[in-house]
Chains A and B, each alone.
Chain A
Amino acid sequence: MKTTLHRRNVVEILLKNRKDLLVVAGLGSTAWDITAAGDSPFNFPLWGAMGNAAMFGLGLALAQPKRRVLVLTGDGEMLMGLGSLATIGVQKPRNLAVVVIDNERYGETGMQRTHTAAGVNIAEVAKACGFRATRQIRSRAQLGSLRAFAWSQPGPVFALVKVIAEKLPLVLPPRDGGLLKSRFRRALLGERADLD
């Protein structure tokens, strides 16, 4: 079944009225997607460290067990760090969700096909690594329950959302890494951020 989903629409639904949800986005398109949905101090969009978005999310989830942490990343980024799914499966944080926006392409470098275009299924990898629940989504009907799944189902949970491969206008978050780090910590930790 071919997907009918557009990535920006999927991410907008996931992040609408997000309250205190903590979001890490992988290098490239997902960082633009979360920014298109509305920049926030509780966003940590990665401009580097390709392959490590899920581990940033794990570190944050273990440090903040009472807050929900959502990692949004692309198939190419996730493929570079498949081992991190195994590491998350061992730690089993209940407050972590990983959502891979899978367009089967390296979108920033000329839309070359990724492994998922050849049938590699990252949701099955996550399942084998011990994620408590996994989903594969490619239609509007399936999209309906994604938000509740990502926001509140006991984690670690993993969703693979197949989306149309499309080139979209860039919506860039701040580029200064020190700024992104400090604004996130201040928003989350308050004054303690500057004293620790």
Chain B
Amino acid sequence: MKRIDDSWPDQIYKTLKDAGVRQVAYVPDGGHKRLIELCLADKEMRAVVLSTEEEGIGLTCGAWLGGVRSALLMQSSGVGNCINNLGTVSECRFPLLMLITMRGQKGEINPWQVPMGQATPAVLEAMGVVVHEANSAGDIAPTVDAAARLAFGSYQAVAVLISQAVIGIKSFQEQSAR
């Protein structure tokens, strides 16, 4: 059986630390579970739980006004909630680093996830966000590193889409047992 590399959330965490990110905002997602735990355990990092994803855009922009670098974690369904606020990011040229775990891709078992998941790259690009896709576990940390450099070095909005092929497909029974 092929061994699944499950150290990528730890690698993202290290990459964020190296990039000077001191605040992480999130709406939880199963794929981000480990990364959220690492951020919550870090006294030097502020982990902010949101009630909806677009709050994270405001929080991130406010933090940048105050001189702090942030990252925003969400599932692809949350991208739809952010669209109007991405217009403000673009107009003000705020740096934005979004790490998005994908649903509605290969092997999805919830049909309601498919429309937003399939539309996610197009929707982000329509709002001026640069999209980087990470399709294997080994790709993720280098992609996040490059995205952080583009976001904070060039004042861009950048989204890393972490493929469902990496996160894995869980049945409803497996999900509820987590």
Say whether B55 contacts A84, CB under 8 Å. Answer: yes
Proximity string of chain A (178-196) to chain B, C-beta cutoff 8 Å, 1 when within and 0 when not: 1011001100110011001
Question: Which range holds the interface residue count of chain B?
Answer: 20 to 34
Residues of B within 8 Å of A90, CB to CB, are 48-49
Q: How far is the CA of A58 from the CA of B94 in the complex (A)?
A: 16
Indicate if the CB atoms of B52 and A48 lie closer than 8 Å: no
B57 touches A52 (CB 8 A): yes
Residues of B near A47 (CB, < 8 A) are: 91
Q: Taking the complex as formed, is B59 at the interface, i.e. its CB lies under 8 A from any CB of chain A?
A: yes
Provide the residues of chain B in CB contact with A46, threshold 8 Å.
88
B93 to A178, Cβ gap below 8 A? yes
Out of A59, A87, A180, which one reaches B63, CB within 8 Å? A59
Identify A83's interface contact among B48, B55, B68, B88, CB under 8 A. B55
Interface 9-mer from A60-68, A100-108, A148-156, A157-165: A60-68
Give bound CA distance, A185 to B95, whole Å.
Answer: 13
Scan A106-149; emit 1 where CB is below 8 A from any B CB, else 0.
00000000000000000000000000000000000000000000
Tell me which residues across on chain A come within 8 A of B111, comparing CB atoms: none
Query: Is A86 part of the contact surface with B, judged by Cβ < 8 Å?
Result: yes
Q: In this assembly, does B60 line the interface, its C-beta being within 8 Å of a C-beta of chain A?
A: yes
Q: How far is the CA of A44 from the CA of B65 in the complex (A)?
A: 9
By DSSP majority rule, is chain A's interface helix, strand, loop, or mixed?
Answer: helix
B7 within 8 A of A: no
Interface residues of A in 1-25 (CB under 8 A from B): 24
- Please give, as numbers and ranges, the residues of chain B lying within 8 Å of A57 by CB-CB distance: 62
Q: Is A37 an interface residue (CB 8 A)?
A: no
Q: Is B59 within 8 A of A55, CB to CB?
A: yes
Which of B23, B54, B55, B152 is close to A62, meaning CB atoms less than 8 Å apart?
A: B23
**A50 contacts partner chain B, Cβ-Cβ < 8 Å:** yes
Min Cβ gap B40→A in Å is 12
27 A-B contacts, Cβ less than 8 Å apart? A48-B85, A48-B88, A49-B57, A49-B58, A49-B84, A52-B57, A52-B85, A54-B58, A55-B56, A55-B59, A59-B63, A59-B70, A60-B63, A60-B65, A62-B48, A62-B68, A63-B67, A63-B68, A87-B48, A87-B51, A91-B48, A181-B64, A181-B93, A185-B65, A185-B67, A188-B67, A189-B67
* Ranked 8 nearest A-B pairs via Cβ: A59-B62, A63-B66, A55-B58, A83-B51, A177-B92, A52-B58, A177-B91, A63-B68
Which of A's residues lie within 8 Å of B, judged by CB? 24, 44, 46-64, 67, 81, 83-84, 86-87, 90-91, 177-178, 180-181, 184-185, 188-189, 192-193, 196
